[in-house]
Amino acid sequence: MPVVLENLGKRFGSGAPVLDDVNATIEQGEFVALLGASGCGKSTLLNIMAGLEAPTSGALEVPSDGAAFMFQDSALFPWLTARENIELALKLRGVGKSDRRVRAGELLDLVHLGGAGDKRPHELSGGMRQRVALARSLAQDRQLLLMDEPFAALDAITRDLLHDELERIWKETGRTIVFVTHNVREAVRLGQRVLLLSSRPGRVVQEWHVSEEHRTDAGLAGQLTGEITARLREEIRRHAK
């Protein structure tokens, strides 16, 4: 099991806890959508899983080699071309020079950017940048891929396409993906399982399984989306005084 979270808690300084008693288990090769309103500690939870922050209580089990991470904005390095960005990830992993070039080319092809390898980030559109960022996180070659609202800043057309793209890549590479989002549709579209995180403190309050039928039957998917949205709103309403 790549990820186990047990009674995980996090507070910053002496403030109110951001995460409290988070419990979740994520299976190898699973695609889990972590859903919650803004300010529910989704990103904090992801950062803890990535090892960027330490939890203040509880325990977590993640793969010993760490996790790959994809940020909301592509966070590509502007002084490197698309290919060099991917090569840097390989280099920091200790891949040799000739292998790097070959592997970076393969990854660019995987995200359908074979012809754009020599462009710099500012010459790419938002969707292309996110695909380079995806290729870079795949270059890390970790079983676990953490994604922090990676498509939130994209236009709807591009986002729909990248959903298809991500699903394809997930199936081709067999990664375990934890995908943070505040978009119910996106969670239902992508996740095999949707975990709803409550706000202040963040805690897993409910989970839904999304079957293969939901992928092709928009009616079923719509129904589930409605159900999850209702539960999410209930959670938000609790904070109205």
Partner 1 sequence: MPSNQLPVAEAPVETRKVHAALTRSSSGKEDLRELEAGLDSLQSDSIRKARIDWSRILLPVAALAVLVILWQLYVSLGFKRRDIVPGPLDVLGQIGTLWGEGKLQEAVWTSLQRGVVGFLISVVIATPVGLLLAQVAPLRRAFGPLISGLQVLPSVAWVPAAILWFGLTDATVYFVVFMGAIPSIINGLISGVDQIPPQYRSVGKVLGASRLQLALQIILPAALPGYLGGLKQGWAFSWRSLMAAEIIAVGGTIGFGLGSMLDQGRVLSDMTIVMSAILLILAVGILIELLVFAPIEKRLLRRRGLLAGSTR
Binding residues for partner 1 (CB under 8 A): 50-52, 66-69, 71, 73, 75, 77-80, 88-89, 91-93, 112-113, 116, 120-128, 131, 140, 156-161, 163-165, 167-168, 185-186, 188-189, 212-219, 221-222, 225
CA dist 81 and 83 (Å) reads 5
Q: Could you say which DSSP state residue 202 is in? A: B
Closest distance to partner 1 from the beta carbon of 215 (Å): 6
Q: Would you say 129 or 203 has its CB closer to partner 1?
A: 129
How far CA 229 is from CA of 85, 200, 232, in Å, comes to 38, 18, 5
In one letter, which amino acid is 20?
D
Residue 3: CB minimum distance to partner 1, A = 16
Q: Whose Cβ is closer to partner 1: residue 127's or residue 150's?
A: 127
Distance CA 144, CA 68 (A): 6
Q: How far is the CB of 219 from partner 1 (least distance, A)?
A: 5
**CB closer to partner 1, 74 vs 199:** 74
CA distance 34 to 14: 26
Please identify, using beta-carbon distances, which residue of 91 and 200 lies nearer to partner 1. Answer: 91
> Token pair 């990535």 is at which residue?
50
- CA-wise closest residue to 188 among 171, 212, 169: 212
- To partner 1, the closest distance from the beta carbon of 79 in angstroms equals 5
* Residues belonging to the chain: 241
